[in-house]
């Protein structure tokens, strides 16, 4: 999912949490935006899915695609990067990571 330019990280986090809650028990959600000329990523994982996916671990591999880094808790993580034109690559990396 992509969010319009100018979205701040707090709004991104709120959107990711709402989507995770709406999708249910085994949800893993990534939202991405461009803000301040940088790629912003927020990843949330439902409690039931944290035994398989740790948000902090997943976001680290995804953030590399946008030339950045990130981290967080098992259920929520954030990242940023300087290569905004590679957000689609980060989203693709997210799907690859979920399949592994």
What CATH number has the domain bearing residue 30? 3.10.310.40
Q: Hey, what are 35's tokens?
A: 């803000």
Q: How many folded domains does the chain comprise? A: 1
Check residue 35 and give its pLDDT. 87
CB 78 within 8 A of CB 69: no
Q: What is the dihedral of CA 88, 93, 99, 100, to 10 degrees?
A: 180
Contact in structure between 32 and 39 (CB atoms under 8 Å): yes
Mean pLDDT per 10-residue interval, the chain, length 100 residues? 69 93 95 91 96 96 96 97 95 93
Residue 7: predicted pLDDT: 74
Q: Residue 54: how many CB atoms within 10 A of its CB?
A: 18
Q: Which two tokens stand for residue 73?
A: 């808790």
- The neighbouring-strand residues paired with 78 are 42, 71
Range of the domain at 64: 2-99
């Amino acid at each position: 999912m992509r969010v319009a330019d100018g979205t701040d990280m707090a709004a991104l986090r709120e959107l990711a949490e709402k989507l995770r809650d709406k999708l249910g028990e085994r949800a893993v959600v990534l939202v991405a935006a461009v803000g301040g000329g940088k790629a912003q990523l927020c990843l949330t994982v439902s409690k039931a899915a944290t035994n398989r996916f740790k948000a902090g671990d997943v976001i680290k591999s995804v953030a590399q695609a946008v030339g950045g880094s990130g981290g967080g808790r098992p259920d929520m993580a954030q990242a940023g990067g300087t290569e905004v034109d590679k957000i689609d690559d980060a989203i693709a990396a997210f799907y690859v990571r979920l399949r592994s």
